Amino acid sequence: MHRAVYPGSFDPCTKGHLDIIQRASGLFDEVIVGVLYNSAKTPLFSIDERVNILKEVTKGIENVRIEAFAGLSVDFVRKCNAQVIIRGLRAITDFEFELQMAQTNRVLAPDIDTMFLTTSLEYAYLSSTTVKEVASFGADLTEFVPPYVLLKLKEKLS
């Protein structure tokens, strides 16, 4: 079975993340979205909220599973019995950090490969950080996040 892990913070999941999940699900037998619990960061959405949001927005995609994890991505990938890490690349500005992370992971786990999917053009500008900033000013986020995330952002910021 070809299994991939798509790790990230997903705070919150954007249409760009969902696009990567959908496309990865067509390339692998199973895709596990790994939601990082990072005790050093204070996210807008708790780990349970982020997992639940992802479960809701991916419920139509049969071969996608959502799980929380803490610690190293490669350890989580091994635990999942997966062989590949999926990451989205939006622009050249992502590349340096993503390359460094992929190379670090390759040294830590030579049996695991990182595969980059280039973000679809219509979402290339999107990030969770900008979504949260725009949301804090009450602007319309319909173009940025799935409807369920829109609802959760409104609840959170009201």
Q: Tell me the C-alpha distance between 105 and 80, whole Å.
A: 16
Does the annotation mark 2 as catalytic? no
Does the annotation mark 90 as catalytic? yes
Burial 29-60, CB ≥16 within 10 A → b, else e: ebbbbbbbbeeeeebbbebebbbbbbebbbee
CB of 154 to ligand PNS, least distance (A): 22
Which chain residues interact with ligand PNS by CB under 6 A?
7-9, 36, 72-73, 101, 104-105
Considering only CA atoms, which of 142, 115, 106 is closest in space to residue 23? 115
Residue of 17, 87, 132, 152 marked active site = 17
Residue of 15, 87, 128, 152 marked active site = 128
CB of 110 to ligand PNS, least distance (A): 14
What are residue 31's DSSP bridge partners? 4, 64
CB of 158 to ligand PNS, least distance (A): 25
Does the annotation mark 128 as catalytic? yes
Does the annotation mark 132 as catalytic? no
Active-site positions? 17, 41, 90, 128
